[in-house]
Amino acid sequence: MRLFGYARVSTSDQSLEIQKQALKKAGVIESRIFSDKTTGSNLEREGLKSLMVKVEEGDAVLITKLDRLGRDTADMISLINHFDKMNVGVRFLDDGINTEGAAGKMVVTILSAVAQAERLRILERTNEGRLEAKLKGIKFGAKRRIDRKQLLQYHEQGIIGTSLAKKMSISRAAVYKILKEERTNVG
């Protein structure tokens, strides 16, 4: 039986090193550790594809945590079934779970469903927070550039202070700062 390892982080600026060290400590040699720096909800992962090609009957795949293999319950079950059909065991080190045997498969199915539910809860809370922020008038995205020429034209027309700030959708402080800069440049 050969041991293989799989490590994944969601973004390219995160490090795989902690996972790789844990896999080595569990007995996986460096050349048999496959990794990806991409979201777990995407099955099109180069490291995962390479791993699936390399493993053979009787091998075992070690992964630090359940959510490192995938985020979606259906995808997780599909991957585990793929390995199971090849008679390849999957072991999750931190969770103390392995897919060898009926009890192991049942636990993995339940835990992956819980992981997906938690992800959906996080997305729901994030969207609720965004909606609440929008209702409070908080703007998202890049800052709007102030049309200085338009602001100065309005000011020449006699629009001042708060009225000018509202018309330009900027703060009064920004209005006064631009007017002060303009006076400094002219004078």
Which positions are annotated as active-site residues? 10
Sorted by sequence, the CB contacts under 8 Å of residue 97 that are 6+ apart come out as 66, 91, 104, 107, 108, 111
Please identify which residue in the block is written with the tokens 């338009």: 150
The number of residues in the chain equals: 187
Please identify which residue in the block is written with the tokens 């969770």: 95
Per DSSP (E only), the strands in 46-179 are 60-63, 89-92, 97-98
Q: Which two tokens stand for residue 124?
A: 């729901």
